[in-house]
Chains A and B, each alone.
Chain A
């Protein structure tokens, strides 16, 4: 392993790989270490959804910034990421949700997002096959520029583009510990030897908390299992991601025709659990066939699980911490870290290179948990 690097990134997920890319692009000397292989964590296990419809302004801005990047990503990275702007249809089931959604829409519009509130009888104009009444949807919001991409292709795309520009990527290399002097990390110990770095970025997904612990830094993040499944391909007949916070459920159809979707079990306990459960399979079958009765004839191909790295306000932790000066956080993505990765990686790259960040990130630092927090409510948790 090499002796020294400007920036050492821990974690070969979409965030770590994108950061490596934006840093080498700016001329930095970058090393990334990944315990297993690229995209083995949540980045290789998620649904690939990319939406800008959020309830907090920071998230809307992060996501809108990312979408601008996604729109040109294939060209930028020189690869296929299957990015499509099929839209997101977010369903409201209660009057309370209707009120919240209408507030969200006006805030999102003020940010320049093209988004609209749909009445119940307009929902089928977007997806005719949706059983609107049967599922008790009374309204929806619709943003046609939301969409999806293949998260594995995006993650590997970033990693390969970064490597082409000179980033060193060590796979099957685990960070085991640190040597700290005067509140600064001077050496990182890995399973392949030690390395010195000016900056160390904690992009270890749901394991970021464990990395921080090695340095005596307490992150409030908790790992939660989130399950997901995919069916055999059938003729493509809808393009949006359909999402219901009420049922804690979302699904879409891939360009090849497979239905992919997940359901969050409200009773899930925190922990590093990757098992597939029967409860999930049953609830998915119930929900999918209720939402679209025609899906009764489709066979499930695979079921798997990944981890959400959840913070108390469901927003990421970005930037330095007070106690260890060169230790940068890039974690806590709370189940939506794929879609914002292009933007968060750009911001952290700007921060490290001493540029002005294109969005303010101070509000997303670890220190925010000392005060009162504004929770992101538009999540499938």
Chain B
């Protein structure tokens, strides 16, 4: 078999620094990977798209979200089934296998798990911009903090955003997302905050204090905290169409991760579904990575994202087709082509307007939904707020939920953006610290100032929808008390 290597070695703005080369086996075949890569990234780089078979029909399944939230990429690793390979780093000598419908358990009795107890004032779940800000703020005020993130690279969505940020100067406008992440990380490193990376928080129990359980890398954590900040971000929405489960249909954020974080070309010919900012930005990032973008389809009659982004794409000859959507994709084991179609005023497909594109990559950029499972499990009241992307935990403007000790910040409190996520994280960090008596005056000043910045930022017309949603949340929260 010819050795395939889809890694990007030349890129107009990014340089990929790879770790030591290692070798592992996939279904008895030797695969090369680099330390720091996820298993999924290394497999995609080797041209492997099928990771498992579906339970009932045995259909091919592969990568989708790239951040451990969808379970599309489950494989058997060193005998252990159901490993999320998109957030599991490669190690030399590991054995990776396609998982069939019934994952079997390893027969060996050895299982070396370690246990660790962590006791802190504040547990921050999720190390994206919101969580990092919360942790930095609380640590600086003197609280003991643990930050837990299920990805083994901290920084959340920021680490794949290679474009220069729009937004407020105080909140890094003009800086590339990835550099913001690095800056926050180095600031956090200066504090005493406890880091737990590559570990998923999977349970929240309330009692005399809040107890979280986390697992990752062969280690169980029991984290006891007085306050918990959930900054768990969001997950990408899926669209319903025939064959949407075929490998090659990937979330836009997942594609960014593969391409911008790991430097792997996700396909050759792409179709993007959704012309909001995410879809548009992804469009020119794909071009930078040498992928041909055949079209961006948008079901609404007009482009949702910023004009600058749309123009940049159109200048490169990429058509942005409004009042169009995807009808279906075709292929046996992965995407071989996709059919797009025009829609009428009522979003019904117009018969006869179908067009088939020979693409091997379909990127779904149709919005995000807040990741609220854990606060909901803890018992926080939630409500469906379409302006904020779906169900969100009700919270007041200090980010406190209906539970005394549970806070939310960032996309988990309603889909918005990195800038506001950082503001919210800072408020939550200062509020929780103050409620525990740490440097109360200073904390209150931080809250006041940040609240003012947040209000200023949200004055922009682009924020009107979010503001409407937040108002609903605050008033429903007020009704509770």
Contacts and interface: CB of A to CB of B under 8 A. Distances in A.
Interface of A: 232-237, 256-257, 275-278, 281, 293-300, 303
Query: Size band of the B side of the interface?
Result: 20 to 34
A296 B205 CA distance: 21
Q: Which 9 A-B pairs have the closest CB atoms?
A: A235-B102, A278-B205, A235-B104, A296-B111, A294-B105, A297-B80, A293-B109, A278-B211, A234-B103
A278 B105 CA distance: 26
B242 interface: no
Contact of A297 (B106, B205, B206, B207): B106
B105 A299 contact: no
B106 A294 contact: yes
A253 to B, nearest CB: 11
Main secondary structure of the interface of B (DSSP, over half): loop
A281 B213 contact: yes
B74 to A, nearest CB: 9
9 contacts: A234-B102, A235-B102, A235-B104, A256-B55, A275-B206, A277-B205, A281-B205, A296-B111, A298-B105
A355 B81 CA distance: 56
B82 A299 contact: yes
A281 B203 contact: yes
Interface of B: 55, 79-82, 102-107, 109, 111, 113, 202-203, 205-207, 211, 213
A232 B81 CA distance: 10
A250 to B, nearest CB: 20
Given A236-B102, A296-B111, A299-B82, 6 more contacts: A257-B102, A277-B205, A278-B207, A293-B109, A297-B79, A297-B106
A295 B106 CA distance: 9
Nearest to A277: B205
Contacts of A295: 105
Contacts of B81: 234, 297
A298 B105 CA distance: 8
Contacts of A275: 206
A237 B103 CA distance: 11
Nearest to A280: B205
Contacts of A233: 55, 102-103
Given A276-B205, A278-B205, A296-B111, A235 B105 contact: yes
Nearest to A237: B105
Contacts of B205: 276-278, 281
Contacts of A235: 102-105
Contacts of A293: 109, 111
Contacts of A234: 81, 102-105
Contact of B107 (A276, A278, A294): A294
Nearest to B215: A299
A234 B105 CA distance: 7
Nearest to B56: A256
Nearest to A285: B220
Contacts of B111: 293, 296-297
B466 to A, nearest CB: 32
A259 to B, nearest CB: 11
A281 B204 CA distance: 11
B203 A294 contact: no
B53 to A, nearest CB: 13
Nearest to B106: A297
A359 B411 CA distance: 61
A144 B81 CA distance: 30
A181 B109 CA distance: 68
Contacts of B104: 234-235
A303 B204 CA distance: 11
Nearest to A232: B82
Nearest to A257: B102
A276 B203 CA distance: 10
A282 to B, nearest CB: 9
A234 B80 CA distance: 11
A297 B82 CA distance: 9
A287 B296 CA distance: 53
Contacts of B106: 294, 297
A297 B203 CA distance: 17
Contacts of B80: 297
A237 B104 CA distance: 9
A136 to B, nearest CB: 18
A297 B104 CA distance: 10
A233 B107 CA distance: 17
